[in-house]
Structure formats: C-alpha cells, structure tokens
C-alpha cells in the first residue's frame, strides 16, 4: 500500500472555527490532491499540488486553502468552517505521467 497518512481521522468542530487537515506521504511523489466526498456528488477535487509551494485550485476550492512546504506534507485549511463543509476528505498522491492516484483512508469532518 502507498504510504499515505491522513490526520486527524475524525474531527467535530463548530461553525466559524479554523480547521487544518494534514496529509503525509512517504512515497516522494510529486503530485498531491485533496478531495471531498459527499452523497450524490462522488469525489470532487478541492486543490492539488504539483510540487513544493506549487498549488492550484480544483472545482470546489472556495472556502479552502492549502499549503505544501515539504514534498511529504500537504495541508488543507478551512479558515472559518461552515456546516456545508461537513464531509469526508480524502488525500491522494500520484507520480509523473498518466499514473493512478493512491488514496489515504480519509478524514471525517463534522461541523456543527
């Protein structure tokens, strides 16, 4: 299995609070991704990174920011969480070229 660790695995927080999710990889892969998964919507890309300090927006980036200061870590931040951001968040990694992505086990985030 690809070495991907997401933390925390579960989190409950209140509307308006900041939240940071962490994705850590041990594969030295170039690309890292954050998705959210919601019933009826499948997987939707939030942000992705193609290298240290190189990131770009996905299809549902509003309300989220990311940072990648090291190859192995990709952080997703909700600056001021809202109930609509209650979801399961997945991190994924991939190498160069048309490679498959490998996924972490997800973070279940509930915002009350």
Partner 1 sequence: GNSVTQMEGPVTLSEEAFLTINCTYTATGYPSLFWYVQYPGEGLQLLLKATKADDKGSNKGFEATYRKETTSFHLEKGSVQVSDSAVYFCALSPLYNQGGKLIFGQGTELSVKP
Residues that bind partner 1 (CB under 8 A): 30-31, 33, 40-43, 45, 48, 50, 56, 58, 90, 92, 94-106
Handedness of CA 39, 50, 56, 16 (dihedral sign): positive
Could you tell me how many helices (H) and strands (E) the chain has, helices first? 0, 11
Tell me how far, at minimum, the Cβ of 20 lies from partner 1, in Å. Answer: 19
Distance CA(74)–CA(48), nearest Å, equals 9
Nearer Cβ to partner 1 (40/62): 40
Nearer Cβ to partner 1 (53/97): 97
In the block, tokens 């070229």 appear at 97
Q: Regarding beta strands 10-13 and 107-111, do their DSSP bridges make them parallel or antiparallel, or are they unpaired?
A: parallel
Distance CA(12)–CA(8), nearest Å, equals 10
Tell me how far, at minimum, the Cβ of 17 lies from partner 1, in Å. Answer: 25
Tell me how far, at minimum, the Cβ of 34 lies from partner 1, in Å. Answer: 12
Tell me how far, at minimum, the Cβ of 16 lies from partner 1, in Å. Answer: 29
7 closest CA partner among 87, 109, 110 = 109
Nearer Cβ to partner 1 (71/79): 71
Nearer Cβ to partner 1 (71/103): 103
């Amino acid at each position: 299995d690809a070495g991907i660790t997401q933390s925390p695995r579960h989190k409950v927080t209140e509307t308006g609070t900041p939240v940071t999710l962490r994705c850590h990889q041990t594969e030295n892969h170039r690309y890292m991704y954050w998705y959210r998964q919601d019933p009826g919507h499948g997987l939707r890309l939030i942000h992705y990174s193609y290298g240290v300090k190189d990131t770009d927006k996905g299809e549902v980036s509003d309300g989220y920011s990311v940072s990648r200061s090291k190859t192995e870590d990709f952080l997703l931040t909700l600056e001021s969480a809202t109930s609509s951001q209650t979801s399961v968040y997945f991190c994924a990694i991939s190498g160069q070229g048309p490679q498959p992505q490998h996924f972490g086990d997800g973070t279940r985030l509930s915002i009350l």
